[in-house]
Structure 1
Amino acid sequence: MIDIHSLNKQYIAGIWRDGKSSRLLADKNPYKDDLITEFKMATTEDIDEAYQRAQSAMDEWNQINPYKQRDILEKAVAYIEEHEEAITNMIIDELGGTHLKAAFEIGLVKDMIKEAATFPLKKEGKILPSVEDGKENRLYRMPAGVVGVISPFNFPFFLSVKSIAPAIGAGNGVVLKAHEETPIVGGTLIAKIFEEAGIPKGLFNVVVTDISEIGDTFVEHPIPRIISFTGSTAVGKHIAQLAVKNFKKPLLELGGNSAFIILDDADIDYAVHAAAFSRFTHQGQICMSANRIIVHQSVYEEFITKYKAKIASLKTGDPRNPDTVIGPVVNEGAAQNLKALIEKGIEQGATPLLKGDIQGNMVEPTILTNVTPDMDVAQKEMFGPVVSVMTFETDEEAIQMANHTNFGLSGAVHTADGERGVQLAKRVHTGMIHVNDITINDEPIVAFGGEKQSGLGRLNGEWSLEEFTTLKWISINYGQRQLPY
């Protein structure tokens, strides 16, 4: 059994040890607000060692037979399955996730590692003809280099593994900076899993620290070739600028403001359930969550009546209770930000159809109606159990409302006519959109990523393999080239 209290160390060069800083990072339970454990923070010196060892361990990893590499990654899945109950408890204690959320996240992690385990056997090259006689051109698919991963607090287990496993499967070393709110589930737990699977020491490293200790060192360090970041658009913009400035490739999964569109012929009962799941899963702390419900005027009254009843029935409270749907948000600061957004929305003219209490980290559901596209609650990503509802009269108007945002991550369209839904979906400027489904979708072999300020790059399946590798041209001249001088 894994003990959450034993995972409070840095994992650098295959060694569990304290960071070299004198400062402590407190890891707290967001529901009880009590201390789980403390970490001695990593310093810039620790980060340098982690990157150095990740680079040197790549040679050892890439000398291992690809079939053996596959077997090692598959052992990571077996380890997770063996310790699923303990991991579930960690997600509940450190994230405030419910049992439903934990099961959902663990399933995504297992699928992602299974897909990454196929990468060692998929690094295909090409032999191409040459304009020169007696010459052969070869293209080798090579590891891109060390990857720096910066993960978020909301789905830290999965959203860390989403980059880590494919990067390792493609032959790279990895250094992970875990989010300071979730350093175990999004950091040292993953180190334990890959250590037990048998990857070479130093190939994967985890540093637990905060920006006040390390500044921009994690991104600006000369070794990593790729920086994979999941988090807010504001921070992502800064990271992208630093990465490009230092000739590194940024991979960014950023904020969202997904639209859930309900057309006049939709199955309203199904749309109610799908819209509830799309907004309130993990307290709405998912980048793909439906921030805006855009519903046709002719079905609005039926939808909103049933939707209010559905949301009012959702149990809020202790995430350890199997019946709980809505647990705590990540911290009191996040709760106060939501409170300010709700108050701003009401001030701008929104009507609270359902207005939940906010105490400490606990935020009960709020439904805002009479929302217009220019209101803050329609423009900003509300990372919590708050939703805006708007109405439209024509499909064209729905498309314009959906596109009236700087974000473009996910979305959904509900209609009895699937092809009508697809044609409408094509015109919504978003990286992903789902007809007669929820906005929260992620599958291991389907391209995942956003448009506009929702990110750069695509992950999952062949797209992850492409992102975490580079092509190297090696030519062979079997004769002697005729040169002009």
Structure 2
Amino acid sequence: MTFFDSAQWDGQMYSGGWVRGGGGTQDVVEPATGNAIGSFGVASADDVAKAAEQAAAAQLAWQATSFEDKAAIFRRAGALIEEHTGVAVDWLAREAGSGQGKAGFEAHLVATEFYSAAAMVEAPYGQLLRSGKPRLSFARRLPAGTVGVISPFNFPQILSSRSVAPALAAGNAVILKPDPRTAVSGGLFLAAVLEEAGLPQGLFHVLPGGADVGEALIEQPSVRIISFTGSTGAGRAVGEAAARHLKRAHLELGGNNALIVLDDVDLDAAVSAGAWGSFLHQGQICMTTGRHIVHESIYPEYVERLAAKAQNLPVGNPATGDAPLGPVINASQRDKIHSLVTGSVDAGARLAAGGTYEDLFYRPTVLADSALDHPGFAEEIFGPVAPVIKFGSVEEAISIATASDYGLSLGILTKDAMKGLSVADRVPSGIVHINDQTVDDESVAPFGGVGFSGTGARFGGTEANLEAFTETQWVTMQGDIARYPF
């Protein structure tokens, strides 16, 4: 049997091995064609309870496993992903509608997550503390127990892996609920990789399903941390449910990210960056550039060139051709995109490019003459749409950029990098890129947003990952029992 042969997993989920789900099966639907290209097992609440029991038992032995053995497993996982990049890319293209370039980039990021996990288990995990008493005092990081991960459809492999890998590296067991629209690339593929890499059975579970499975995961007493990536609305519900059960919830939510283009830029480079930020993966990225804030002196030419980019970008089936843009994930998402575009045009925006679709293939769209209250400018679109607004002064640009409840990623384009940094100081954002667009991610860098975009940086780098997936314990040691006046 070849690696990740469908005969291994078709109709299955992963929980103590490949098993049937209590919720039956669901088809894997290819958005580009509407065809069923496989099936997977759907979990039930009972499956969550069984997985939690297995995970709690397996975690104790995993916590005691040497760091050398853990690191070897993660290195093997990273190597397997690199070895089978073609498999990962194929599933991302077919199931998630990813362009070949985006899919390849995502597979590379997933491999780096596991290599970073290998480094994490070898890193220091505590701190010596001063004490006013004659004793040794230190703080150490210990596994929380079991971590629940709820991941979305848009970058399914990386948005699962960036929680799964460090949570396992911290000594936890993990139960992953991938989005059922991308259960294979966002879950079952990772199960096959980790099984092949030698991860002990019972430590990692993939339970596809709907909101009921997510609720059951949050309610499980042994699941101490919930790591959620998704919409702001769903994140509120997850955070509220987790709070009722007194468990931590790390929420990485939506964004309506601003790209501020000052008047001194190289215009060709700025337009290229802006197009990438808005149109990559059909705009279905939390970091997508959702607001182009452009100085009035270069605004007309910026819009003209951005519209030309949009008109010339091929859109097609990424599994059968080399079109950089594929379909959006489903008809509901397409209709939401189109409603925001038409609503903006009705409110006074000018359609400079796009605004049309065929099946699930939405054309890259530029909305010129946008205003703060236009729906396409004020709301997260999650589609290949670039709303553009003009400004006259830096103060006005900052005012426009801050007129949003979101705060995930900010791009500032200018020849004066220090001026860009001074602008960044005044715009709340979890991520800032000076002289780059808003979409970027590295396994070694902290990632997260503020405001409606989430609860801060919870992923990336050993420090953030230890903070996210461990508990801190204070320990003191002394040679003799202290004497007290009682």
Where has structure 1 moved over 6 Å in runs of 4 or more?
Answer: none
**Counterpart mapping for 1:189-268 below 5 A:** 189-211=189-211, 213-214=212-213, 216-268=215-267
Q: Does the Cα contact within 8 Å between 1:123 and 1:141 map onto a contact in 2?
A: no
1:10 to 13, 32, 55: 13
Unaligned runs of 5+ residues in structure 2 are none
> How many Å separate the matches in 2 of 1:442 and 1:127?
32
Decide whether the 8 Å contact of 1:98 with 1:322 is kept in 2: no
> Partners in 2 of 1:165 and 1:225 — Cα distance?
17
State whether residues 25 and 209 of structure 1, in contact with CA within 8 Å, keep that contact through their aligned partners in structure 2: no
Could you say what secondary structure the match of 1:196 adopts?
A: helix
Instruction: Report the CA distance between 1:330 and its aligned residue.
Output: 0.4
CA contact (8 A) 1:112 1:161 kept: yes
1:123 Cα shift?
A: 3.9
Closer, same or farther: CA 128–435 of 1 in aligned 2, 3 Å = closer
Q: Structure 1, residues 17-49: CA drift from partner, whole Å, max 9, x if none?
A: 11123x432220000100012233211111011
The answer for the alignment partner of 1:319 in structure 2 is 318
Q: Distance in 1 between matches of 2:126 and 2:434?
A: 37
Q: Is this contact kept in 2: 1:254–1:453, CA < 8 A?
A: yes
CA distance in 2, matches of 1:369, 1:248: 45
**Does 2:290 correspond to 1:291?**
yes
The Cα shift of 1:86 comes to: 1.5
In the other structure, the counterpart of 2:337 is 338
Q: Residues of 2 paired with 1:37 and 1:148: CA distance?
A: 26
Moved more, 333-342 or 227-236: 333-342
Q: Tell me how far apart the structure 2 counterparts of residues 457 and 351 of structure 1 sit (CA, whole Å).
A: 36
> What residue identity is the alignment partner of 2:35?
D
Aligned: 1:32 with 2:45: no
| Corresponding residue of 1:483 | 484
Residue 151 of structure 1 contacts residue 159 of structure 1 at CA under 8 Å; is this kept in 2? yes
Query: Is this contact kept in 1: 2:341–2:355, CA < 8 A?
Result: no
Instruction: State the shift of 1:347 in Å.
Output: 1.5
Change (3 A) 1:125 1:196: same
What whole-Å deviation, never above 9, does each CA across 1:257-276 have from its counterpart, x for those lacking one? 00111101011000011001
Compute the displacement of 1:132 (Å).
3.4
Q: Residue 5 of structure 1: CA displacement? A: 5.8
Counterpart CA distance in 2 for 1:455 and 1:167 is 19
Which whole-Å CA distance do the structure 2 matches of 1:171 and 1:408 have between them?
31
Shift of 1:136: 2.9
> Higher mean Cα deviation, 51-60 or 379-388?
51-60
1:20 to 22, 28, 32: 22
Aligned-partner Cα distance in 2 for 1:168–1:214: 21
- On the 8 A contact 2:177/2:214 being kept in 1, the answer is no
Q: Which residue of structure 1 aligns with residue 355 of structure 2?
A: 356
Q: Which moved more, 1:54-63 or 1:381-390?
A: 54-63
TM-score normalised by L of structure 1: 0.96
- Which residues of 2 match residues 95-244 of structure 1 at below 5 A? 95-133=96-134, 135-211=135-211, 213-214=212-213, 216-244=215-243
Cα-to-partner distance string for 1:30-79 (whole Å, 9 max, x where unaligned)? 00100012233211111011111112111221222101211110000111
**CA distance 1:415–1:395, shift in 2 (3 Å):** same
Separation in 2, partners of 1:457, 1:114: 24
* Distance of 2:128 and 2:403 partners within structure 1: 47
- State the 1:129 CA deviation: 4.2
1:321 deviates by 4.5
Deviation at 1:239, TM superposition (A): 0.3
How far apart are the structure 2 equivalents of 1:66 and 1:442?
26
2:466 is matched with which residue? 465
Where does residue 93 of structure 1 map in the other structure?
A: 94
Greater shift, 286-295 or 47-56, is seen at 47-56
Question: How much has 1:358 moved relative to structure 2?
Answer: 1.9
Deviation of residue 93 (structure 1)? 0.9
- How far did residue 130 of structure 1 move? 3.4
Rounded to whole Å, the distance in 1 between the matches of 2:375 and 2:81 is 41
Instruction: Specify the code of the residue in structure 2 equivalent to 1:122.
Output: A
Q: Name which of structure 1's ranges 225-234 and 367-376 shifts more when overlaid on structure 2.
A: 367-376
Query: Which range moves more in the overlay, 146-155 or 360-369?
Result: 360-369
Instruction: Return the letter of the residue paired with 2:468.
Output: E
Q: Which deviations, in whole Å up to 9, do the C-alpha atoms of 1:263-312 show, x marking residues without a partner?
A: 01011000011001101000000000001111000011221121111111
Shift of 1:429: 1.2
* Cα deviation, residue 322, structure 1: 4.5
Query: Is 1:65 paired with 2:63?
Result: no
2:311/2:354 contact within 8 Å kept: no
Q: Which amino acid aligns with 1:403?
A: T
2:302 aligns with: 303
Q: Check 1:289–1:199 CA distance in 2 against 1; reply closer, same or farther (3 A cut).
A: same
Instruction: Note the aligned Cα RMSD (angstroms).
Output: 1.4
| Residue 414 (structure 1) aligned with residue 413 (structure 2) | yes
Q: Deviation per CA, 1:80-131, whole angstroms, max 9, x where unpaired? A: 1111111111111111111111111011111111111111112432343433
Q: CA deviation at 1:484?
A: 2.5
Instruction: Answer with 138-147 or 295-304: which moved more.
Output: 138-147
Encode CA deviations 1:457-483: one digit per residue, 9 max, x unaligned.
321002112211121122234223222
Shift of 1:405: 0.7
Q: Is contact 2:144-2:172 (8 Å) kept?
A: yes
Following superposition, the deviation at residue 449 of structure 1 comes to 0.6
Q: Which amino acid aligns with 2:343?
A: K
Deviates more, 1:47-56 or 1:254-263: 47-56
d(CA) in 2 for partners of 1:304 and 1:457? 33
Percent identity between matched residues is 37
Matches of 1:357 and 1:457, distance apart in 2: 36
Quote the residue 2:55 is aligned against.
Answer: 54
Classify the secondary structure of the residue corresponding to 1:463. helix
